[in-house]
Amino acid sequence: MNDAVTNKTILSVEGLKVSYGHIEAVKGIDFALQEGRITTLVGANGAGKSTTLLALSGLVKKAAGRIVFDGQDIGSLAPHRIVGGGLVQVAEGRATLTTLTVHENLELGAYTRRNRAERAQDLDYVYGLFPRLAERRAGLAGNLSGGEQQMLAIGRALMARPRVLLLDEPSMGLAPIIVQDIFRTLRTINQGGLTIFLVEQNVRQALKIADRGYVIETGKIVLADSGAALLGNPKVQDAYLGG
């Protein structure tokens, strides 16, 4: 168990609705993240998982509801202000800057930070988490494998010193052995005290590392429990884990 876990709710969502034109993608959901914990939102493709994350990050406008981060309603803030407050997202598809080096990509994650000693310390931390990135720090990000690019995307987000790390489908397109490595690293990051909100289609892997989980179907949260309880829930097993 992460020693940094508290009972403090660091982010709460109440009645969140998001629409694309006449299509309501997220239909009034409620959930909360506790500080120091891994929370996951799982479900099938198109269930509303990524849209939920985009709303938290301010990248899509909510139609209704409240998003409260550390006591402040952030539902109307610009994305850069949300990031500046410590809510940092690793986008689906990784979005690394392929014509820049690994090192340059990581430095961009800390572009708003002025303390050079802290930036250097965080670079050392990221390279320690991902030794493969340290080996390829001078190489172009475009030459990395898919798994290495996912490591780089996570590392770049960590360079912003987030208080909550949002991850959108980090296992997408990766070989099973790489997926296991990524999830082990997320657990390590969390054990260092960082709160993580994980949006995932790989239900088994996500629930295995999550303290708490929510299941979303067609824009509505249909189940909420501990990660372990959801993993053993017959409904979850039948719908997502092949029985």
Query: Among 5-9, 76-80, 132-136, 173-177, which stretch is predicted with the lowest mean pLDDT?
Result: 5-9
Distance CA 201, CA 36 (A): 22
Instruction: Give percent of the chain above pLDDT 70.
Output: 97
pLDDT confidence of residue 116: 86
**Burial of 32 (C-beta count, 10 Å sphere; 0-12/13-18/19+):** middle
Tokens of 68: 């409260």
Q: pTM for the full model? A: 0.92
Residue type, 154: I
Angle at 81 between CA 194 and CA 190, to 5 degrees: 5
Domain ranges of the chain: 9-93+161-240
What pLDDT digit, counting tens, does each position of 63-108 carry?
Answer: 999 999 999 999 999 999 999 999 999 988 767 888 999 999 999 9
Task: Give the confidence band of 38 by pLDDT, cuts at 50, 70, 90.
Answer: very high
Quick check: 17 and 62 in contact, CB under 8 A?
Answer: yes
Residue 52 backbone zone (phi > 0: left; psi -120 to 50: alpha; other: beta):
alpha
Residues 6+ apart with CB under 8 A from 19: 25, 63
Span 9-93+161-240: which CATH code? Answer: 3.40.50.300
Residue 1 has pLDDT above 50, yes or no: no
pLDDT confidence of residue 6: 66
